Structure 1
Amino acid sequence: MAEPVLAPDAPFHIVSNAGSGSKDAHEARQQIEAILSTARRPHEFILIENPGQLQSVAKKAADAATRSGGAVVVAGGDGTINAVMQAVLPARRPFGIIPQGTFNYSSRAHGIPLDTAEAAQSLLTARLEPVQVGMVNDRVFLVNASLGLYPELLQDREEYKRQYGRRRSVALWSGLRTLLREHRHWAVEVEYEQGAERLRTPSIFIGNNVLQLEQVGLEEAEDVKRRGRLAAVIVEPVGTSELLWLAARGMLGQLGEDERVRNFSFHSMTVRVVNRVGRRGVKVAVDGELFWCPPPLTFQVAPQPLMLLVPTSKPGQ
Structure 2
Amino acid sequence: MAKPSDPLQELDAQAKLRCFRVIANARAGTVLEAGAESFARQIEAAFEAAGCRAEVELVPPRQLEERLRAAIADEAVTTVVAGGDGSINGALPVLVGCKRPVGVLPLGTVNVLGRDLGLIGPLEEQIAAICAGEPVSMDLGSVNGRLFHSISGMGFFSLMAREREYARRRFPFSRLVAFLFAATRSILFTHSIRIEMEIAGERRQVEADAVLVTVNQFDGTEWRRNRLDGGEFEVHILDTGGLLSRCKAALSMLTGGWRNSQHLVSLTGTAVTINRRDKRRGHVTFDGEVERRASPFTYRLLPGALRVIAARPAKIEPHPAEHMFPS
State the TM-score, normalizing by the size of structure 2: 0.79
Q: What SS does the corresponding residue of 1:134 show, helix, strand or coil? A: strand
Alignment RMSD (CA, Å): 2.9
The residue correspondences of 1:78-89 to structure 2 (distance < 5 A) are 78-89=85-96
Asked if the contact 2:22/2:56 (under 8 Å) is kept, the reply is yes
Q: Displacement, 1:43?
A: 4.2
CA shift in 2, pair 1:89/1:36, >3 Å: same
Q: What SS does the corresponding residue of 1:28 show, helix, strand or coil? A: helix
Aligned to 2:258: 255
Q: What SS does the corresponding residue of 2:221 show, helix, strand or coil? A: helix
CA shift in 2, pair 1:282/1:13, >3 Å: farther
Aligned to 2:181: 173
Asked if the contact 2:208/2:238 (under 8 Å) is kept, the reply is yes
CA shift in 2, pair 1:227/1:109, >3 Å: closer
CA shift in 2, pair 1:272/1:107, >3 Å: same
CA distance in 2, matches of 1:213, 1:71: 31
Q: 2:105 aligns with which of 91, 98, 101?
A: 98
Deviates more, 1:260-269 or 1:111-120: 111-120
Aligned to 2:324: none
The amino acid of 2:26's aligned partner reads: A
Q: Displacement, 1:66?
A: 2.8
Aligned to 1:107: 114
CA distance in 2, matches of 1:292, 1:151: 10
Q: Displacement, 1:250?
A: 1.9
Q: Displacement, 1:232?
A: 0.8
Confirm or deny that 1:242 pairs with 2:245: yes
5+ long unaligned stretches in structure 1: 1-7
CA deviations 1:173-194 (Å, max 9, x no partner) are 320222012x332221101114
Aligned to 2:267: 264
CA distance in 1, matches of 2:312, 2:179: 32
Aligned to 2:221: 215
CA shift in 2, pair 1:209/1:76, >3 Å: farther
CA shift in 2, pair 1:134/1:14, >3 Å: same
CA shift in 2, pair 1:70/1:293, >3 Å: farther
Q: What SS does the corresponding residue of 2:290 show, helix, strand or coil? A: strand
Aligned to 2:43: 32
CA shift in 2, pair 1:86/1:226, >3 Å: closer
Q: What SS does the corresponding residue of 2:97 show, helix, strand or coil? A: helix
The amino acid of 1:66's aligned partner reads: A
The amino acid of 1:175's aligned partner reads: A
Deviates more, 1:186-195 or 1:233-242: 233-242
CA deviations 1:66-122 (Å, max 9, x no partner) are 342643212221111221223211233422122211122211122113321222233
5+ long unaligned stretches in structure 2: 1-15, 317-327
Q: What SS does the corresponding residue of 1:133 show, helix, strand or coil? A: strand
State the TM-score, normalizing by the size of structure 1: 0.82
CA shift in 2, pair 1:35/1:178, >3 Å: closer
Q: Displacement, 1:290?
A: 0.9
The residue correspondences of 1:1-317 to structure 2 (distance < 5 A) are 11-21=19-29, 22-26=32-36, 27-36=38-47, 41=52, 43-49=54-60, 51=61, 53=62, 56-68=63-75, 70-165=77-172, 166-181=174-189, 183-208=190-215, 212-215=218-221, 227-236=230-239, 238-277=241-280, 281-311=281-311
Identity of aligned residues (%): 21
CA distance in 2, matches of 1:253, 1:132: 24
CA distance in 2, matches of 1:111, 1:217: 13
After superposing on structure 2, the runs of 4+ consecutive aligned residues of structure 1 that deviate more than 4 Å are 8-11, 37-43
Q: Which has the higher Rg, Structure 1 or Structure 2? A: 2
Q: Displacement, 1:64?
A: 2.9
Task: Count how many residue pairs are aligned between Structure 1 and Structure 2.
Answer: 296
Asked if the contact 2:231/2:303 (under 8 Å) is kept, the reply is no
CA distance in 1, matches of 2:282, 2:59: 28
